[in-house]
Structure 1
Amino acid sequence: MIRVRFVSIPVSDQDRALKFYTEKLGFQVVTDQPFGNGQRWIELQPPGADTLVVLFTPPGHEHLIGKFQNVAFTCDDVEGTYRDLASRGVEFVQPARRAEWGGVEAIFKDPDGNTFVLAAPARE
């Protein structure tokens, strides 16, 4: 059985990103160790998730920093999570709203401008 081990988020400043993902989003540090070329290998775990988030930019991939990321986060209550994260200073480019596909979604940015969807599936 194939599963997703981690997704990588390209960042320009690992210290600033680490602070955002742990203090603002509540992710837990799993690994933080030197990885060469002045970077670290930083693995974070969102609460209750099996898939890890890695704050690392491979050489030659710097152009991906600050773009829409093909990573969607989920939670049980998008509206409540939106309010909570916004109160912590997380920048949203789209507030929580009912999506055309039936679920609820919001879109937020990290300090580098990487953009992510926060969504919950439609309830029956």
Structure 2
Amino acid sequence: MMRVSFVSIPVTDQDRALQFYTEKLGFDVVTDQAFGNGMRWIQLKPPGAETDVVLFTPPGQENRIGGYQNIAFTCEDVVGTCHTLKARGVVFVKEPERANWGGMEAIFQDPDGNTFVLANPRE
């Protein structure tokens, strides 16, 4: 294995999720296309990332939507990034604080209630 190509984020409404991840978080669209049985594959790239995110819920996996996702996003300045994202309407369920592992972290959520860590262990 060489690297992680993408991680999947389960969502209920792909259009709403696409708007959130591109307009509020600033991700770029890699592909947005139909594939088999009326399904849609939306692949996005966070700025500067090597791993993409896919806004897709496999049939029968709807129970994965909402709650904590095992995905952490990093940035240079957690406090500053939180301020910027809040101004764009992103909801944080945990404000930035020094974590017990030494870095700064915060937790935000998407429109489906999926929550993600925003961290920078170098701060």
TM-score under structure 2 normalisation?
0.96
Is 1:32 aligned to 2:32, yes or no? yes
Residue in structure 2 matched with residue 2 of structure 1 by the alignment:
2
| Identity across matched positions, percent | 72
Write out per-residue CA displacement over residues 26-84 of structure 1, whole angstroms, 9 at most, x where no aligned residue: 00000000023433100000000110000000111100001210000000100000000
Alignment partners' CA distance in 1, 2:24 and 2:33: 22
Residue in structure 2 matched with residue 86 of structure 1 by the alignment:
86
Structure 1 segments of 4 or more deviating over 6 A? none
Letter in 2 for 1:44: L
Q: How many residues align?
A: 123
Following superposition, the deviation at residue 97 of structure 1 comes to: 0.9
Residue in structure 1 matched with residue 108 of structure 2 by the alignment:
108
Alignment partners' CA distance in 1, 2:24 and 2:39: 22
Structure 2 counterpart SS, 1:105: strand
Q: Which runs of 5+ in 1 are unaligned?
A: none
Letter in 1 for 2:63: H
Residue in structure 2 matched with residue 53 of structure 1 by the alignment:
53
Structure 2 counterpart SS, 1:76: coil
TM-score under structure 1 normalisation?
0.95
Alignment partners' CA distance in 1, 2:53 and 2:38: 19
Alignment partners' CA distance in 1, 2:105 and 2:96: 5
Following superposition, the deviation at residue 116 of structure 1 comes to: 0.3
Q: Which runs of 5+ in 2 are unaligned?
A: none
